[in-house]
Every structure is written in structure tokens, then in C-alpha cells.
């Protein structure tokens, strides 16, 4: 199945995955692409070859894969679709934030750019989705926030939870149960050694403390306020 730009769903999924891996630093390794898309490494090698032949990626042996300008534009187009759909489902159709990722994954390949524009307009052209991720503009611009893992926030320093991944529904439900969503302000009041848990004090409204495991805290993108 191909969309109005002529790209197959598989191509769009690969471009999104490569963009996300690049955003974490440098080129995307084929092993990381395989893990993210849950496919076999040989399948990734074949697809990367086709994407390279189409002018969407550059593959440097032993270094990894990088998007070309055309590939980046296509990836941002799909990411915009995904995040607008998630926002619309939550704000207008009362979906929970832990249920929208899979719905958006299905819908993003089927809707038209016109529908996405109308949805964005109806929402007031939001800059961020409900998980705190920036929404690319219609012309393919995006400003990735400068964030720090919660594990690296200095003790007793006011900070804000900025962004969480939308991929793990169970984790999202747990964070919601703790009152931890983008925009919540906190301070790290204690940090146990040897990758032990953190104690944070939430300072939005009624002050309260929560204990957060190290691995979870490491996955929470924050910024000092």
C-alpha cells in the first residue's frame, strides 16, 4: 500500500525509525533499526539498500544510516501525522494517553494531508502532542527540545517533566497513576547510589513525594526551570 507521495507503509515506518534513532545521536545502526521495528537484520539491510537507491537515505558501511533531505522531509511528514492524530484522539475523542499510539500507527498511513491540516486547525495548531513531543510543522520544520534525563537533574533543583515516550502503554498508565505527565514540576529530593531509585517531590499544586526507579527515571526527558 502506498500513500499519496508514493511511499509504501514499510518505507514510511523505516524513515520514521531512522529519524528517531538519528535524533538520539548520529547515524542509525542497522541492528538498532531491526530492534525498533522488530524485524530481522537481513530484512533491514535489504530495505536500506532500496531506500538508498531511492535517494531517501545514505548508508555508510560500518557507520550506519542517515536520512537525506528528502528522507528527512518524508519522515517528518509521518511524524507530524502521528502526533496530530494522537492529540486529536485525546483532546476531541477522549482517548487515554496510553491507548493512542497504536491507533495513530494505523491511521497515519491512511489519512490525507488535507485531513491532518484540518485536524491541526481544529486543535489550534498545537506545538506539542500530549506526551510532550514536538509536532513538526506542515512545511517540515521541527525544534527538538533540549532535555535532560531525570536521573541527571541536580538535587533540590526545580525541574519540569518535558516528554515521555508514547510506545509503552503500561509505563504511561503507571506514570499517570503517579501524577507524572508533561508539564509537571518537581525537585529530586534524594538519589540512591549505584543506580538506585530517586525520590522526587512534585511541586504542582499539593506537594507530594514519589519514588521512581532508576531505569524509568532515565527514560523521562526533563528540563531545569
Contacts of 32 (CB under 8 A, 6+ apart): 21
Whether 204 and 119 share a structural domain = no
Q: Read off the CATH number of the domain in which 133 is found.
A: 1.10.10.10
For residue 59, list its beta bridge partners: 65
Count of structural domains within the chain:
2
Nearest 5°: the CA angle 74, 86, 36 is 55
Same domain as 182, residue 136: no
- Last-in-domain residue among 144, 167, 187: 144
Residue with C-alpha cell 519514588?
211
Query: Last residue of some domain: 123, 144, 165?
Result: 144
pLDDT in tens, the chain (225 residues): 344 467 899 999 999 999 999 988 778 999 999 999 999 999 999 999 999 999 999 988 788 999 999 999 999 999 999 999 999 999 999 999 999 999 999 999 999 999 999 999 999 999 999 999 999 999 999 988 889 999 999 999 999 999 999 989 999 999 999 999 999 999 999 999 999 999 999 998 777 899 999 999 999 999 999
Say if residue 28 is in the same domain as residue 51: yes
DSSP letter for each residue of the chain: -B-TTS-BHHHHHHHHHHHHHHHTSSPBPHHHHHHHHT--HHHHHHHHHHHHHTTSEEEETTTEEEE-HHHHHHHHHHHHHHHHHHHHHHHHH---TTTHHHHHHHHTTTS-HHHHHHHHHHTT--SB-TTSPBPPPTTS-------EEGGGSPBT--EEEEE--SS-HHHHHHHHHTT--TT-EEEEEEE-TTT--EEEEE-SSS-EEEEE-HHHHHT-EEEE-
- Tell me: do 1 and 70 sit in the same domain: yes
User: What's the rounded Cα separation, in Å, for the pair 213 and 221?
Assistant: 14
| Contact call for residues 31 and 41 (beta carbons, < 8 A) | yes
Half-sphere exposure of 201 (CA within 13 A, CB side): 10
Q: By residue range, what is the domain housing residue 192?
A: 148-224
The answer on 112 and 19 residing in a single domain is: yes
Shared domain check, 200 and 123: no
Q: For residue 148, what are the β-bridge partners?
A: 222
- The verdict on 181 and 131 lying in the same domain is no
| 31 and 137 in a common domain | yes
User: What does the pLDDT read at residue 4?
Assistant: 41
Question: 144, 161, 186 — which closes off a domain?
Answer: 144
Are both 138 and 35 inside the same structural domain?
yes
Looking at the fold, whether 101 and 156 belong to one and the same domain comes out as: no
CATH code for the domain in which residue 185 is found: 2.30.30.90
Residue 22's contacts (CB-CB under 8 Å, 6 or more residues apart) are 28, 66, 67
* 114 and 31 in a common domain: yes
Q: Are residues 2 and 76 in the same domain?
A: yes
Amino acid at each position: 500500500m502506498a500513500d499519496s507521495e508514493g511511499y509504501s507503509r514499510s518505507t514510511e515506518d523505516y524513515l520514521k525509525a531512522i529519524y528517531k534513532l538519528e535524533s538520539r545521536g548520529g547515524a542509525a545502526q542497522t541492528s538498532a533499526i531491526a530492534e525498533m521495528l522488530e524485524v530481522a537484520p537481513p530484512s533491514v539491510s535489504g530495505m536500506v539498500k532500496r531506500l538508498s537507491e531511492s535517494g531517501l537515505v545514505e548508508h555508510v558501511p560500518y557507520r550506519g544510516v542517515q536520512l537525506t533531505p528528502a528522507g528527512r522531509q518524508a519522515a517528518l511528514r509521518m511524524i507530524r501525522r502521528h502526533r496530530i492524530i494522537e492529540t486529536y484522539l485525546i483532546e476531541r475523542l477522549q482517548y487515554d494517553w496510553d491507548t493512542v499510539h497504536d491507533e495513530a500507527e494505523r491511521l497515519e498511513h491512511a489519512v490525507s494531508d488535507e485531513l491532518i491540516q484540518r485536524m491541526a486547525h481544529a486543535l489550534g495548531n498545537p506545538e506539542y502532542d500530549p506526551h510532550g513531543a514536538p509536532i513538526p510543522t506542515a512545511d517540515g520544520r521541527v525544534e527538538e527540545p533540549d532535555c535532560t534525563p531525570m536521573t541527571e537533574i541536580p538535587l533540590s533543583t526545580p525541574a519540569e517533566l518535558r516528554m515521555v515516550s508514547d510506545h509503552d502503554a503500561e509505563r504511561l498508565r503507571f506514570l499517570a497513576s503517579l501524577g507524572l505527565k508533561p508539564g509537571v514540576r518537581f525537585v529530586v529530593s534524594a538519589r540512591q547510589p549505584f543506580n538506585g531509585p530517586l525520590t522526587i517531590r512534585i511541586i504542582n499544586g499539593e506537594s507530594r513525594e514519589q519514588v521512581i526507579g532508576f531505569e524509568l527515571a532515565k527514560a523521562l526527558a526533563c528540563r531545569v526551570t
